[in-house]
């Protein structure tokens, strides 16, 4: 079966053509797929500006790729789709945004927010069935329906709003959920429970989830696999536990060392000065070479491919140039077992 979502050599430029002085390469030749037979949580991690939100907007069909294709169930989402195919795609690929209520009408009560998708996608036969769907979804994210349904977004906390956004996505029983920094605007004390609800959903409903974050601590707790991005490209990918405990790529090592772990023996590292943004001026060699403490000759000459560093881990780094190479198109094979 075709993966639900597949990105084939997707590049997204903003502000001009490739090579232009003012051009930003937000995503750089990304190849990646999500398979519904393996409903894992995969974290997309990286500093601000590394292309995470762009990746999400491309998958949702909100941005058109500059180069490359995005396929839903094997069909290019930018080629002509029938109305049924469009509806199917819209229903099955759902997202939770950093601040979902920035995109919702503030005059809509929670009832409306939840009943509109039910109506649009014809999910219920009548009012009662629609109500049941709303109640079930709200309970699943730990909200009491009677306290929630009659309220407006501004009458709720950030954590409650984010739960409603998750409930709304859930009602549609999607085949893929993408969550972009879903807990970054939620109080620290509530983050763990919200992430736990997302995790439960993944396991009970078997929905694959792309969890987008700059925060490796939550990535470690919530996800099975991780893809570490820098300047719109994959630096390291594989089993989350292995990568965070034993990062192989110097960029991941820098990120991991700057996590404030609650372990007093583990010193707080300082992330080195630098930028995760990529300009349009073509950079020969490794994208991280100018910040890398281990850079050596090959790093300035060509782009490192993905080298296997274990059976469940790859790093785009010449330190591992004697290892086997994993073809980009096979990245998915590292993310399921």
Ligand X SMILES: Nc1ncnc2c1ncn2[C@@H]1O[C@H](COP(=O)(O)OP(=O)(O)O)[C@@H](O)[C@H]1O
Chosen residue from 75, 221, 277, 328 binding ligand X by CB under 6 A? 277
Taking CB under 6 A as the rule, does residue 48 contact ligand X? yes
Q: Give the end-to-end CA distance of the chain in Å, rounded to a whole number.
A: 17
Chosen residue from 9, 14, 283, 332 binding ligand X by CB under 6 A? 14
15 binds, among Mg ion, ligand X, none (CB under 5 to 8 A by kind): ligand X
Q: Which stretch binds ligand X (CB under 6 A): 49-57, 83-91, 248-256, 304-312?
A: 49-57
Footprint (CB under 6 A) of ligand X, residues 50-69:
50-54
Residue 5 to residue 74: CA distance in whole angstroms: 8
Q: What is the signed CA dihedral for 293, 294, 296, 298, rounded to 10 degrees? A: -120
**CA 200 to chain CA centroid, nearest Å:** 18
202 binds, among ligand X, Mg ion, none (CB under 5 to 8 A by kind): none
Q: What is the CA radius of gyration of the chain?
A: 21
Footprint (CB under 6 A) of ligand X, residues 28-47:
46
Footprint (CB under 5 A) of Mg ion, residues 41-60:
52-53
Least distance from ligand X to the Cβ atom of residue 93, Å: 18
Of the pair 214, 248, the CB lying nearest Mg ion is at: 214
Positive/negative CA dihedral, 186, 190, 193, 196 = positive
Residue 244 to residue 227: CA distance in whole angstroms: 11
For the chain, strand residue ranges (E) read: 5-14, 24-34, 41-45, 67-72, 75-76, 93-96, 176-180, 209-213, 225-230, 233-239, 306-310, 313-315, 325-326
Least distance from Mg ion to the Cβ atom of residue 79, Å: 28
Least distance from Mg ion to the Cβ atom of residue 181, Å: 6
# residues near ligand X by CB under 6 A: 13
336 binds, among ligand X, Mg ion, none (CB under 5 to 8 A by kind): none
Least distance from ligand X to the Cβ atom of residue 44, Å: 8
Least distance from Mg ion to the Cβ atom of residue 260, Å: 21
Q: What are phi and psi of 270, to 5 degrees?
A: -110, 125
Least distance from ligand X to the Cβ atom of residue 53, Å: 3
DSSP H/E element including 57: helix 52-59
Taking CB under 6 A as the rule, does residue 49 contact ligand X? yes
Footprint (CB under 5 A) of Mg ion, residues 243-262:
none
- Residues facing residue 236 across a β-bridge: 228, 315
- Residues facing residue 315 across a β-bridge: 236, 307
Site of interaction with Mg ion (CB under 5 A): 52-53
């Amino acid at each position: 079966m075709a993966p639900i979502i597949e990105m084939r050599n997707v590049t997204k430029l903003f502000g001009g053509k490739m090579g232009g002085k003012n051009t930003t390469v937000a995503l750089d030749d990304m190849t990646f797929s999500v398979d519904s037979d393996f409903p894992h949580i995969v974290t997309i991690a990286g500093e601000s500006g590394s292309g995470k939100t762009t990746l999400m907007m491309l998958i949702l069909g909100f941005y058109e790729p500059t180069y490359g294709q995005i396929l839903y169930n094997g069909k290019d989402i930018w080629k002509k789709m029938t109305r049924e195919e469009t509806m199917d795609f819209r229903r099955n690929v759902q997202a939770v945004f950093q601040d979902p209520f920035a995109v919702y009408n503030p005059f809509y009560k929670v009832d409306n927010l939840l009943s509109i998708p039910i109506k649009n996608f014809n999910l219920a036969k009548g009012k009662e069935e629609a109500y049941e769907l709303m109640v079930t979804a709200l309970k699943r994210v730990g909200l009491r329906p009677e306290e929630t349904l009659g309220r407006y977004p501004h009458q709720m906390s950030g954590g409650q709003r984010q739960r409603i956004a998750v409930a709304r996505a859930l009602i549609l029983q999607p085949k893929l959920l993408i969550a972009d920094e879903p807990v970054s605007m939620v109080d620290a004390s509530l983050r763990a429970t919200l992430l736990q609800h997302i995790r439960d959903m993944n396991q009970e409903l078997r929905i694959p989830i792309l969890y987008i974050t700059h925060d490796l601590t939550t990535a470690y707790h919530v996800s099975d696999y991780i893809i570490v991005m820098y300047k719109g490209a994959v630096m390291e990918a594989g089993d989350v536990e292995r990568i965070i405990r034993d990062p192989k790529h110097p960029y991941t090592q820098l990120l991991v060392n700057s996590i404030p772990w609650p372990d007093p023996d583990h010193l707080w590292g300082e992330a080195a000065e630098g930028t995760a943004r990529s300009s349009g001026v073509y950079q020969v060699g490794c994208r991280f070479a100018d910040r890398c403490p281990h850079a050596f000759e090959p790093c300035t000459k060509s782009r490192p491919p993905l080298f296997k560093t274990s059976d469940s881990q790859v790093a785009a780094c010449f330190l591992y140039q004697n290892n086997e190479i994993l073809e980009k198109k096979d990245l998915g094979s590292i993310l399921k077992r």
